[in-house]
Structures are given as structure tokens and as C-alpha cells.
Chains A and B, each alone.
Chain A
Amino acid sequence: MSDTFLGMPAFPQAAARAVRDRQLRANLRHATHTIRDKRARAVAELPDWAELRSAGKAIKDHTLRHLDRYLVQLEEAVTAAGGTVHWAADAEEANRIVAGLVHATGTTEVVKVKSMATQEIGLNEALAAEGVTAYETDLAELIVQLGEDRPSHILVPAIHRNRAEIREIFADRMASWGRPAPEGLTDSPAELAEAARLHLREKFLRAEVAVSGANFMVAETGTLVVVESEGNGRMCLTLPRTLISVVGIEKVVPTWRDLEVFLQLLPRSSTAERMNPYTSLWAGTTRGDGPSEFHLVLLDNGRTAALADQVGRQALRCIRCSACLNVCPVYERAGGHAYGSVYPGPIGAVLTPQLRGTASPVDASLPYASSLCGACYEVCPVAIDIPEVLVHLRERVAEQGGHPVERAAVAAAGYVLDHPAALAAAERLAGRTRALHPRRLPGPGRAWTDSRDLPEVPAEPFRDWWRRNRT
């Protein structure tokens, strides 16, 4: 993934800093609670939500199970429709392919539709190194790009910014990227959106190459689907001569009909709408309408490693709706940056360690970035059991030999818990020495007693009460 995220502190330290940032917490709380309630209402409108959800899960599982076959079928269909398919084993290869395609057109600018895959591979940075400027055209991505910031949410990358901060970024930074912000710009969302419209329009009108991702690819028909709201996607997909779509291999679905499930699941789960304002569907190229050249770059970059894990592979069902982020109590308080990856929140905590491995401190800490409350699983439209995968990945981290103290404690507890007499003795000892127990613990226990008192240890454990009273 992108170098931007290397050298991140582990999640707990980054999260602790975010928790102390009052403004950030207020922004996140406001935004996540707004969308959370709306999603619940949008989903409640459909009496067959549970059936749609299990169909979505089943279609994705079926596809993953025959992924090789569907990718080959997709390749044939896209090629027959006039597109060119490229395969990229990792980020470096994908970036090289895209840069080569851009160079071949002779341009030094591309417009971009918001895409997680291109963020994951650090495409903008790679293109910049090749002398190509990539302009983000999604409003939130624009805010992030102008603010020299990092995205903190899948759907709304600038969720950590409130309107006042956005106004400031536009007023200060637009001029150095193109058309300046209008004089006297206020922080009304309508005015901010208008500023973005004006700033980007000149870029759309002159762009010769666009780069996008896709929400779905249909193997049967070679169709790509981009779901969006603002119309920047339509601009990018329609106006330039060359379109390059970089898409993860897990985004394929078998048939045209399968879209009937996902075009119901996705909008309600993500923006909480019956349908998002714009959905574009195309296969290859069309004479006289839209780009005359279309390239599809199929991206692995760790996905096949996730596919090899029987428990972890369910994360590849993800349709990036972001519902799990919006209900997550940890995300709400830690913010997206603490996850050290373009995939924050619950899905990030299970996806990133699978795509990148668990060697770095931040990646090894991600599976623990959850209280396992299960809210993410409950809302996930493709029923990814995120808590199950988190626990599974914790096992992987524990096995790679971190946490020696914890390992020793578990081993010791293992003995006591398998010997009830030893357990009773330990409980009694705790009861007899309870007057001596400190209020604050040293060492690792401090993390508990920093904000909480320890419970009072009772005079006798239940076992002893039972023996005195019932035997």
C-alpha cells in the first residue's frame, strides 16, 4: 500500500491522540450519527433486507470460489466490447501499467474518480514521480488533496473535517491548483459545493485521460459499474478520450442479474438512499459516445493472500459501503487516520492486515482495534462476520511471537482454570489480602486503573458460599 502510511504508530497510540482531540471527536460523532440513523431508516423500508443480504453474501462467496473462471470470462467480455485488460500482481506493477498508458497519450494530467484501489496502491504519488498530475474530483477527495491530508473514511474521506475547516482549505489552497475559490466564500455546504463545481469544471473540460475504480464488474457482459452522487464520476467516465479503471479482482460478480442485489444493498448501506444520484454502467467502448480507449487493470496486491485464508477470505466480499465504519464505536472515537491505512474502521482492521501482513506495529495492532461489539457485522450488507475475522487475525499476531507477557499469563491461567482447586485457592487468597489491594496498578495493569477503579474483591468467592450454604 501507499508509502504515506509507513512508519505509522500502532493503533492504540494514534487513537489515544485522536480521542483527546475534541474537535475531531465532535466532527466524527455528528457525521457518523447522522448517517447511522438514516441508514437504519433506508434499510427498514425493505421488508426483504435479510434475504437481499444473504443473496449478496452468497453471490460473493460463489464468485470468490470460482474467481479464476469469472476473471477469465470478464477479460473475454471486456476485450470483445473493445477494452484492453491488464493484470497487476502488486501495487508497483499497477502503477507502472497506468503510468505507461498515460504517457502513451502524451498528456501530463489525469482526472480521477474516487477509488479505494488507486489509493491503496498510491497511484497519485507514483504518477507524480513520473511527471503526471492526478486531480481528485470527488468533493471529499478534493478536500483531502487540497489540504495535503489523508483520507479517513471510505465513503467520505474528509469526514474528519467540518464545514468551517473545509471553507478554510478551499479559500487557502484552491488558487494554487487552478481556479481560486470565489471571493467571500462562506461555510454553507451549498456554497462549498459550488466552489468545487467551478474549480473542477475547467479540469473536466480539458482532461484527456481519466482514472477510475469500479464498484462492480460483470463477468457475463464485461460491464463496469460506478456508483456515485456528484457527477464527477460521469464527467470522468464520459468526457476524456482515454479511460483507465483500476479494480480489485474481488469486485467481479457473475451475471447482469446479480446487479439487482447489489444495486439495492449498496446505496441504502452507504449513503442511506433508495438509490444514489448517478450510476454509470458501461462495457468496453461505444462508438461516438464516451472514451474511445478503455483499459481495465485487474489488481491483486494481496487479495489472493486473503483468499487463501479460510476465515479471512470473507473480507473480500466487502462492497465498501462504509456502514461498518459509521456504526463503529471505536472508529467514532479514534477516527480514520489511527488505522494507518486507506481502509479504516472495522473493515480496515480485517482487510489491511491481510493485504499488508502483520509485520509492522500498526498492522499487528489493527486486529485489536475493536471491542468486538458486533455492530459492524449487524449492518454489513454482505454479512462479513468482522468480529470472527478480528479474533482469527489476533491468533495470527499472537502466534508470530509478540506479546510475551500476555502469552505467559494465558499459560498460567490455563493451568489454574483447568484445576478448580487451584482456582479456588487463588480466589481465597485474593479475598484474604483484599485490604492490601492498591487502587492503581503498576505495569500493564495501569491501562485499566488510569480511568477505572478495580473492583472490590469479595470476602469469599461464590464457590465457598455454595459449599457453606448448599452442600
Chain B
Amino acid sequence: MTSRDLILGRIRAALGDTGTVAEQPLPRRYLSAHAPADDPAALLDLLHRNLTDYRALVHRCTEAELPSRIAELLAARGSRTVAVPAGLPDGWLTAAVGVEPLPDDGSLTAARLDAVDSVVTGCALAVAETGTIVLDGGPGQGRRLLSLVPDHHLCVVRAPEQVVASVPLALPRLDPARPQTWISGPSATSDIELDRVVGVHGPRTLEVLLVTV
């Protein structure tokens, strides 16, 4: 007998008593959101607050200002090199003069990225209630290691279309076939005396640019 058959057999034997008991429907009486899902301005404020609360650096700008804001933020950190995921909108880095873009064609290694100053990405969506941005490898988001190895991650969120209120509203908009990374603030640990310290292995600085029209 294979272990597969053994385990499945043990499970069926263990559940022998449950067959006769009628099953109740799953209670899903929880809320689909805790914030008003139909007030984009309030949602954006909430996202901003929650991101800040977990020590992401949050900025706002308009679509037109985006290239210059990205350039400013990279310059403020003194970033010389920036990883560029495939599909990042062309205009985003045009104003960043003096910064060397490293477009990812699938060949950037972790070792190379370890020496890169920053990475600029978009996102799949952001969750206001939890202060979370979700990357799913779509255009402008890149392979997972891109937003992981460099120490500075600058992420652009477009409001209102990419902002959802809650986790229950986020999941149906995401494709389970894609690998996802949900990011809520910079890397952190509570391992020393259960106190939160920011900055371990992931990017120690997470900057989020909230872009409105």
C-alpha cells in the first residue's frame, strides 16, 4: 500500500462517526468590508494612514507629476541604480537622470540585485483596511525577487482603481494562478521580546506613491 492510500484510508476510518450528522451551511456573517467601499477619497486616506502606521513612507501625486516625484524620491535616497521590471510604463523613469536603469529581461540575478539601490514597481492592487499592497507579477511588477532583494522598494498605486477596501474585496480580483506577494509595510520582526522592529531581510525602506488623476 502506498502512503497516500494509507493516509486517505486512515482519514476515512477516523471520520466514520460523522456520516450520520447533518452538516450546517457555512456561516459567513462577517462583513465584506469595515470601511465604506464606495467612498474613494476616504479609502485612499485610510490606505495612507495604515501604510504609514506600519512605517511605509507614503507620498501622493498626480499622474502628471509621477515621473518627477519618482526622480525626486530616488535622488533623495541617493540611488544610483534602479531595477526595472518588465512592463513598467515607459514614462515613469524618464525624469530620473543620473540613475542607471537595469531592465529585467529575466537575467538579473539575486547577487546582482543585492548591489542595486532601488526597485520601482507598480502593483496589482492595494487594501486600504490593512495597509497592504499586492504584487502578482503582472506588467510593471516583475519577478518576485525584484521587489525583495534591493533594500529600497518604491511602489506606485493608482487610485482609485487599484484601491479596494478589504481582504474579502481583494481576493476575487486576484488570479490564484499567479504567484503573489502581499506587502504591509517594510520587513519587520517581533522576535526580540515580542516588540516590533522594522528592517530585516526584505527591503528596509518601503515607499508608496499614491497616484490620483
| A and B in direct contact, judged by CB atoms within 8 A | yes
Count of CB-CB pairs between chains A and B under 8 Å: 242
Within 8 A of A (CB), among B24-38: 24, 26-31, 34
CB-CB < 8 A to B148: which residues of A?
231, 234-235, 238
Could you tell me if B54 and A277 are in contact, using CB atoms closer than 8 angstroms? yes
Q: How far apart are the CA atoms of A143 and B191 in the complex, in Å?
A: 9
Contact partners of A288 in chain B: CB under 8 A: 106, 143
Report B143 CB to chain A, min CB distance, Å.
Answer: 4
A273 to nearest B CB, angstroms?
7
User: How far is B102's CA from A83's CA once the two chains are assembled, in angstroms?
Assistant: 31
Q: How far is the CB of A309 from chain B (nearest CB, A)?
A: 8
B168 x A260 contact (CB < 8 A) = yes
Which residues of chain B from 5 to 46 have a CB within 8 Å of any chain A CB?
6-8, 10-15, 17-18, 23-24, 26-31, 34
Q: Is the CB of B144 within 8 A of A283?
A: no
Known: A58-B24, A256-B176, A275-B132. A65 touches B15 (CB 8 A): yes
Which of B67-75, B155-163, B193-201 forms contacts with chain A?
B193-201
CB nearest to B17 among chain A residues: A310
**B171 interface hit (Cβ, 8 Å):** yes
Q: Is B178 an interface residue (CB 8 A)?
A: yes
CB-CB under 8 A from A48, the residues of chain B are: 29-31, 34
Query: What CA separation (Å) do A310 and B14 show in the bound complex?
Result: 9
Alpha-carbon distance A313/B17, docked complex (angstroms): 12
Chain A residues, CB < 8 A from B2: 87
B97 at interface by CB-CB < 8 Å: no
Chain A interface: which size bin?
35 or more
Contact assessment for B185 and A277 in the assembled complex, using a CB-CB cutoff below 8 Å:
yes
Whether B205 is near chain A, meaning CB under 8 Å from some CB there, is: no
* Residues of chain B within 8 A of A27, CB atoms compared: 193
- Give A229 Cβ to nearest chain B Cβ, in Å: 5
Give the CA-CA distance A35 to B196 in the complex, in Å.
10
Q: Which residues of B contact A231 (CB under 8 A)?
A: 148, 187, 200-203
B64 beta carbon closer than 8 Å to chain A: no
A residues 256-292 in Cβ contact with B at 8 Å: 256-257, 259-261, 263-264, 267, 271, 273-283, 286, 288-290
Q: Tell yes or no: B76 within 8 A of A by CB.
A: no
Interface assignment of B4: CB less than 8 Å from any CB of chain A: yes
> Complex Cα distance A8/B182, Å?
41
A55 partner, pick from B27, B106, B132, B185, beta carbons under 8 A: B27
Q: By the criterion CB–CB under 8 Å, are B187 and A229 in contact? A: yes
A116 contacts the other chain (CB 8 A): no
Please tell me if A218 contacts chain B, counting CB pairs below 8 Å: yes
A280 touching B181, Cβ below 8 Å: yes
The smallest beta-carbon distance between B144 and chain A, in angstroms, is: 4
In contact, B26 and A58 (Cβ under 8 angstroms): yes
Contact B171 A260 (CB under 8 A): yes
Query: Which A residues lie within 8 Å of B197 (CB)?
Result: 189-190, 193
Q: Does B188 contact A (CB under 8 A)?
A: yes
Tell which of A238, A256, A259 touches B145, judged by Cβ atoms closer than 8 Å.
A238
- The 17 listed contacts between A and B (C-beta, < 8 Å) are A48-B34, A55-B29, A68-B15, A163-B192, A189-B192, A193-B200, A194-B199, A230-B202, A238-B145, A274-B130, A275-B127, A277-B185, A279-B182, A280-B144, A281-B182, A282-B179, A308-B14
Binding site for A on B (CB under 8 A): 2-4, 6-8, 10-15, 17-18, 23-24, 26-31, 34, 50, 54, 106, 110-111, 114, 127, 129-132, 137, 143-145, 148, 167-168, 171-172, 176-203
